[in-house]
Structure 1
Amino acid sequence: MSYGDPNNPYGPPPGQQPHNQGYGYPQQPQHPQQGYGYPSAPPVGPYHGAPAPTSMPGTVSTARVLLWVIVGLQLIGVALFAFSAASVEAAKDDATLRDEPAFQQLADYSSGMLWALTAFALAWGVFALVLAVKFGKGGNGLRITTLVFGIITAILGLYPFILVGLVHTVLAILIAVFVGNAAGSAWFNRPRY
């Protein structure tokens, strides 16, 4: 019975058998000892020993850029809704436009509804702006919030705002996919020192 290196301080004293290989115990195959001390530990990382990312992955950076694009589109939407609300308020008193069918469709929306849509578009743009700004230092809570933001934006792009919302839907789906993948998880779950 050999314990590898005869100078191993952790082996049994010379001339003695280990307690688990004596009488009544099955013989274990002996492997040469790799070295002294404890075996090396695997590297520490967020999942399966992978090292934590030190720079933002490409997909996460793309999701951040797409959030900035949504901010820009929201600002354009705010301007259009505000212009429509102001135009409807001013044109409701014009007698020549009362008989026009195209104006009547627009006048069906109350100016209060258009101002509410303006406020909602502004609030949604500010929400996207806050998410985009916090990507560099945000944790898993920001990741989950961005996923929820992407899903709700995709749904809102499909239902009430079908024509203008198609671009928002595509951008929101891409944001949710890029933030929800393994690289996004590694970025938002990285240790912060």
Structure 2
Amino acid sequence: MSFGEPNNPYGQQPQGQQPGYGYPQAPQGVPPQGQYGYPAAPPVSPYGAYPGGPGMVPQSMPGLLTTARVFLYLISAVQILAGIAYVYAASIASDASDLASEYGSGSDNPFEDIGDFAAGAAIVLALIFLGLAALSITLAVKFGSGGQGVRITTVIYGALGTIVGAIGLFIGLDSGLATAVIFPLIWVTFGVIITLAPVVPSGTAWFSRPRY
């Protein structure tokens, strides 16, 4: 049996032909089509859509998050000032306790005990405010590179601040003094914006964006 016989099914295939599989070959010069007649779909971001366009990843921080970041810096400044004020108050209370001990009579001097207690309480409050200031600054700095942990912490922090501000606002309204209402109202406004900024769609997309 010869390999050159044209009727031999096991012979060599003619040059220039491809084995057929039931699909017609496209002529030269025609671009190949997608399989099963469907065109290729554009890639979609796995992090959800963003107002800049469907499926797009945000390239810059949204405006509401930028505002919340500024508010965090302002809150940290107030907390630092409060911490410094309590440190100063603790030093005054400590000096008063020393004077009461020096000029007082007897070992059971109530003014000395009151001064020591006031100094200790002021130091504790100073540490709390300075710690909160450090947290506010850390969250504000991490807005640029933080992920879901920063987002969740910011939401909880803002919600707690809103609750504290609302309590102060109710107390101010009950007192009837306008000066007692202004500061809690500002604090509630800051807290609401800080709480909502990471949970709106633009904030969620920002904290869910890929990081390289």
TM-score by length of 1: 0.67
Cα RMSD for the two superposed structures:
3.0
Give the deviation of 1:156 after TM superposition: 3.1
Deviations 1:108-166 (A, max 9, x none): 97221111000000000001111111111111111011111111222233447965655
Q: Secondary structure at the match of 1:179?
A: coil
Q: Is the 8 A contact 1:154 1:169 kept in 2?
A: yes
| 1:169 lines up with 2:188 in the alignment | yes
Equivalence for 2:33 = 36
Higher alpha-carbon Rg: 2
Q: Is the 8 A contact 1:43 1:51 kept in 2?
A: no
Deviations 1:46-82 (A, max 9, x none): 1255201011111111111111111111111112211
Change (3 A) 1:86 1:165: farther
Q: Is the 8 A contact 2:139 2:150 kept in 1?
A: yes
AA at the equivalent of 2:140: A
Counterpart pick for 2:89 among 84, 88, 102: 84
Q: How many residues align?
A: 152
TM-score by length of 2: 0.62
Supply the distance in 2 between the matched residues of 1:11 and 1:39 (Cα, whole angstroms).
21
* Runs of 5+ unmatched residues, structure 2: 1-20, 25-31, 101-113, 172-179
Equivalence for 2:123 = 115
Counterpart pick for 1:63 among 62, 68, 93: 68
| 1:47 lines up with 2:48 in the alignment | yes
Greater length-normalized contact order (CA 8 Å, ≥ 6 residues apart):
1
